Every structure is written in structure tokens, then in C-alpha cells.
Structure 1
Amino acid sequence: MTTDPVPTGRATTEPPAGPARARPRPVEPADLPALAAMNDAAAPAVNRLGLDGLAVHVPRCDLAVVIDDDGGSPAGFLLALAPGADYDSENYRWFSSHRPGSLYVDRIVVAPDTHGQGLGRALYAAADECAAALGLGEITCEVNLEPPNPGSLAFHSRLGFTQVGEQSTKGGSVRVALLARPLPR
């Protein structure tokens, strides 16, 4: 897990007041119950992990960051893995094979009541910084096409992600768009 995952401040506009001014920080063990609840509430956009699954997954991530709301409670988080991680995900394996020089964002979850406040952008800025520090040239992720997740597709499109593939996972019950974006210059 990266210990200094701060955004680079590449944004060209001042973020709105409130949580977006907060900086992503490393996930701490005390965050895990709130993050597990937030993650599982976001299903089916992300798969449920529960507290035990998240506690196993976070340490294998090269980037695990959280951003707090104005009250100091987690309002969003991002987990990402670099090439060569010990992670048995169909989507991670696809990117490892087809986009080997990328930082794979396994999940980004932002509390619904904080959407539109810049938290997702701040979390992705931390991913950009991590990828650059690791010498990787792009960020990759997947977004559900079935069941549909149009809000996430629109958000990722605004960040410059383009579709580089598509696949069915979980025995054909989920279809995903595989997305990539080069690091900002």
C-alpha cells in the first residue's frame, strides 16, 4: 500500500467548498467497517466484499486511499493494483494481458450524498500520482454495462477514459466496459 498518495493538484479549477478540498489519505484499519458498508451498499456497481473480504483485499493493493467528509467520516475510497499483483479478478487478468503498463482501479466508491463535489476526481488524482510514481503510463478500470451503470460511465468519460474492450464476467451475469486513460501530462 502506498503511504503518500496525495493528489498532484493538476486540476485547472478550484474545487468546490466542502469534502472536495480534503485530500485522499491512506486507508487505515479503523476505516474498514465504514468502507465495507459503503462498498456493499454500492452493489451491483461493485461486488460486495464484506468486512472480511475488504480486510484481505486492501493490503494487496498498491493504492488504497480514502477521502473524508466535512465531519471526518469516510465519504469515498479508491483501491488500485499495479501489474504483477496476486489478485484473481477476471478484469484484472484482462488488463494484465492487454494493458500491462497500467494501474488498475479495482473500485472507486463515493457516497451518493457527496456526488458532484469533486471527491471522485480527487481520488483519481491520487491514482494518477501513484501510477506516475510506479512508472506506469495509464489508468484502467471497468464499468458495468449489464447491470447498467450509466452514471459511472458518464463520470469516467468526463475524466477522459475510453473503452478499450468489453467482456462478460461472473459466468455471463455481468458485462463490463473495459476503460483506459493515459496519465495527464
Structure 2
Amino acid sequence: MSTATLLRPATDADISRLVSLNNAAIPAVPDTPADDMTELLDASSLALVAIDPETPADPLGFVVALDGGEDWSGENYAWFEERGLDHLYVDRIVVGEGARGRGIGRLFYDAVFDAARTAGHDVVTCEVNLNPPNPGSMRFHGRLGFEERGQQLTKGGDVLVAKLAAEVHPTP
């Protein structure tokens, strides 16, 4: 397998693989059937997949982000919207088990911050589970400059998440 990883826009042809990647990452992300994944991609302002150039039809991971001000009903998105942030919200970022440790998460966030910068957003927002705990994701986001802005019980009180935001800095 090649060590080079490329990013490309997600397409409808990727839905089945994205659902598989997503649902293998539960409880870090919510269970998402194909119809919901399609709806999420349709609402997104940024939806990318990471691929190995030798197997471009088999995404290794994906990221989906939404601009602030969208008509999106997700409770985590709504939390940031209620605070009036000018943000690009990362709804989902998943890297498949066999592709971890290759810098794909960093590639995704480089693209997210570039998109936020281009759109003139102040911050990039996301949430990470505190209970059930996801310490690896908290460390990863901390290295990228994310800071906790609050916490929220979600999923009817079953999941506690940290609400995170990172400043979008001008291109150096």
C-alpha cells in the first residue's frame, strides 16, 4: 500500500463506505444510516474523504463540516449556533481503524481550517465525548489548538460531550 494519502470531495458513491466507517467508530460518533449520511453530506459545506491513490474508490476516512447559520437540527451544532459564533462546525471526522497513525486526521483538519479561513470564519468548532470517554481525540484536538468552551449532556442525557473551538488564524 502506498503511504501517500490524498483528499477528495465525498460523493454519493461513497455513502456505503462512509456509513461503514462511521458505524465502526461508535460510540465516538452516532450511529448513522445511509439516508442520514446522505442528508448530512447534502447539508455540509465541506465533505472530504481520504484515499490511498492505489484504491481511490475505498475511502480510508472522512470529514463533514457545516457553516454556521445553516438550517441543521443537530443538537451539538445548535449549541454552537445558540452562542452566536462565526464558525465552521466539524460534525464528523472518522479515520478507519487500519488507516490511523498516518496523519489523516491532521490532513482533514488542515483542509477544515483552510475552508474556514477562506469563508472568513473566526473559529472551527466540534465536540468530543467525555462520557463515554475519548481521551485520544481530546489529546489530538488539544494539539490542534482546540479549547473547551463548555459541556453538554446529549442523546437524552446518555452522553457527555466537551464543546471545543479553535481560532482560525490567517495564513502565515
TM-score with structure 2 setting the length: 0.92
Higher relative contact order (CA 8 A, sep 6+): 1
* Runs of 4+ with deviation above 6 angstroms: none
Measure how far apart 1:184 and its partner are: 3.5
Matched residue of 2:72: which SS? coil
Counterpart for residue 119 of structure 1: 104
Measure how far apart 1:130 and its partner are: 1.1
Question: Is residue 2:88 matched to residue 1:103?
Answer: yes
Structure 2 counterpart of 1:84, one-letter code: G
Q: How far, CA to CA, are the matches of 1:148 and 1:99 in structure 2?
A: 28
Matched residue of 1:88: which SS? coil
Task: Structure 1 unaligned segments of length 5 or more: list them.
Answer: 1-16
Say whether the 8 Å CA contact 2:67–2:87 is kept in structure 1.
Answer: yes
The residue correspondences of 1:1-185 to structure 2 (distance < 5 A) are: 18=3, 21-69=4-52, 70-72=54-56, 73-185=58-170
Task: Structure 2 unaligned segments of length 5 or more: list them.
Answer: none
Say whether the 8 Å CA contact 2:126–2:163 is kept in structure 1.
Answer: yes
Counterpart for residue 4 of structure 1: none
Structure 2 counterpart of 1:146, one-letter code: N
- Deviation string 1:139-168 (CA, Å, 9 cap, x unpaired) is 100000011111111111111111111111
Matched residue of 2:77: which SS? helix
Measure how far apart 1:120 and its partner are: 0.4
Q: How far, CA to CA, are the matches of 2:112 and 2:164 in structure 1?
A: 15
Structure 2 counterpart of 1:175, one-letter code: L
CA distance 1:144–1:99, change in 2 (3 Å):
farther
Q: How far, CA to CA, are the matches of 1:156 and 1:115 in structure 2?
A: 15
- Deviation string 1:119-144 (CA, Å, 9 cap, x unpaired) is 00101111111111211011100000
Q: How far, CA to CA, are the matches of 1:131 and 1:23 in structure 2?
A: 20
The size of the alignment, in residue pairs, is 167
Say whether the 8 Å CA contact 1:144–1:177 is kept in structure 2.
Answer: yes
Say whether the 8 Å CA contact 1:105–1:141 is kept in structure 2.
Answer: yes
Say whether the 8 Å CA contact 2:85–2:123 is kept in structure 1.
Answer: no
Say whether the 8 Å CA contact 2:117–2:169 is kept in structure 1.
Answer: no
Say whether the 8 Å CA contact 1:35–1:77 is kept in structure 2.
Answer: yes
